[in-house]
Copies of this chain bind each other. A is one copy, B any other.
């Protein structure tokens, strides 16, 4: 067998009702997850592409969040109406759906310090 060609993670985090941040679940991520699974299988992608639920992906402000690896393409505000396009364009043809991408500057990841990952020691980042 092999690695999956692509691996999608859909945020299905939940928060207490009334939390001002809301959550992907409150915004409908379960329906996005199910539509992605169903349509990826219908497109013949079973075991070529895998779709999984995930804990909080830390992009709450962007609506329902989906990340696609190994490309590390981040989609925000995804609805079930977007799923056909994600499957056909990105999963089948390898072209990310640019209109749904979260701009890199808006993602919450932090650049590593210079030299990191090449034998250096990380500094800071203990906020």
Interface positions of A (Cβ within 8 A of B): 1-5, 7, 9, 41, 43-48, 50, 52-58, 67, 69-72, 74, 92-94, 104-112, 116-119, 121-127
Q: How many copies does the complex hold?
A: 2
Contacts A69-B7, A74-B3 given; indicate if A92 touches B122 (C-beta within 8 A): yes
- Contact in complex: B44, A122 (CB < 8 Å): yes
User: How far is the CB of A111 from the nearest CB of chain B, in Å?
Assistant: 5
- Contact in complex: A58, B48 (CB < 8 Å): no
A108 to B53, CA, bound (A): 18
**Residues of chain B lying within 8 A (CB to CB) of residue A121:** 92
A110 to B122, CA, bound (A): 37
A42 to B67, CA, bound (A): 25
**Residues of chain B lying within 8 A (CB to CB) of residue A3:** 72, 74, 104, 107, 109
Which of A1, A9, A111 neighbours the largest number of chain B CB atoms within 10 Å of its CB?
A: A1
User: How far is the CB of A35 from the nearest CB of chain B, in Å?
Assistant: 15
